[in-house]
Amino acid sequence: MGSQFGPATSAWSKSYSFTTFDPPGSSFTDPVSMNNRGQVVGFYEDSSGVTHGFLDTKGTFATIDVPGSSFTLAQWSNDAGQIVGFYNDSSGVTHGFLDTKGKFTTVDPPGSSSTFAGPINDAGQIIGSWIDSNNVQHGFLDIKGKFTTVDPPGSSSTLPDSINSRSQIVGSYSDSSGVTHGFLDTKGTFITIDVPGSSLTDPISINDRGQIVGFYEDSSGVTHGFLDTKGTFITIDVPGSSLTVAASINDAGQIMGGYEDGNFVLHGFLASRNDDDAAASSMSTQGPLTRASVIGDSRPTFLGTSNAELVAGNGALGGLGSSVRSRVARNGRSCARG
């Protein structure tokens, strides 16, 4: 298995407008991802405390509940409108699901005791994670019901996070010493992704150009976002932040994520390449620049947040605001991030 390494630089920000939306009857709402058609999927809790998935198509909401489930969480929709996520059955067992125009298919790799499905690419290929009978977490790739295990060599726990249209998969794994590394899987060939000087690296999203974003912890335990372009790393830190997580990158190179300010308040951000801005030339000594624009107050929308980290607390589903901390408040994690 190869490795990636390279130099790192940083980022800056300005304000940005945002729109609030909530499914009717919800007590809280967490959007998880958005496809290129602008459709948003996620989950919400009703007044009785029951968690449902939702699809928002230009302000029109549809509830997503797997039949017989005690809760349903929608995670990802591709451009064909196929939706994946996971649910608990009446016995409390967690399964993955695929929703194709209201027709539900269970997504469970053979031998799984719990399955967390998502994301899905435009070819209908699904990735996720599953727990075996020994409570070990593995990754999987599901191509039309044919499952392939995704475990980098030397992994004791694997969590795939993103798949692009070229079937490249990124995610993270823990080694035998409990250290978390990133990985890139290109048709079964694995490359380890470690930001230079990091104690932990966690890639979260890959676009069709092969650009990768995620977060890492430095030797002082500070969390930074990063952009990895063919092994060259750029650090993404929103000014004034105590931690930054880069969570999603589209094919235009726009990066979305979340950060925590000095008062421990969580915000979302959108970062766009800014080569033509006058400030870029005046600050060129800082290296490649990105514009980070605040898009939220307390719950950043993570395009690509995945799996068990969304299950938290007293059995309810934790919000994406809290998952900024949950993604980074562990070192040598076990099966569920949370």
Per-residue pLDDT of the chain (338 residues; tens, 9 = 90+): 655 544 444 443 344 445 678 899 999 898 888 888 889 899 999 999 999 999 999 889 999 999 999 999 999 999 999 999 999 999 999 999 999 999 999 999 999 999 999 999 999 999 999 999 999 999 999 999 999 999 999 999 999 999 999 999 999 999 999 999 999 999 999 999 999 999 999 999 999 999 999 999 999 999 999 999 999 999 999 888 999 999 888 888 888 888 888 888 888 787 876 653 333 222 222 222 233 333 332 223 333 333 333 332 222 222 333 344 444 433 322 223 32
Q: pTM of this prediction?
A: 0.77
Residue partners of 10: CB distance under 8 A and separation at least 6: 234, 235, 236, 237, 286, 287
Alpha helix stretches (DSSP H) within the chain = 278-282, 320-328
Pick the CATH number of 2-328 from 2.120.10.30, 3.40.50.1970, 3.40.50.720, 1.20.1740.10: 2.120.10.30
Rg (CA), the chain: 19
Query: Which tokens is 63 given?
Result: 């509830």
Write the CA distances from 228 to 117, 215, 224, integer angstroms.
Answer: 25, 10, 13
Nearest to 184 by CA among 252, 127, 263: 127
List the domain boundaries for the chain. Answer: 2-328
Q: How far apart are CA 283 and CA 266, in angstroms?
A: 27
- Reference 87, options 319, 327, 311; nearest CA is 311
Residue indicated by tokens 């605040």: 294
Separation of alpha carbons 34 and 143, rounded Å: 22
Q: Give me 107's structure tokens.
A: 């997504």
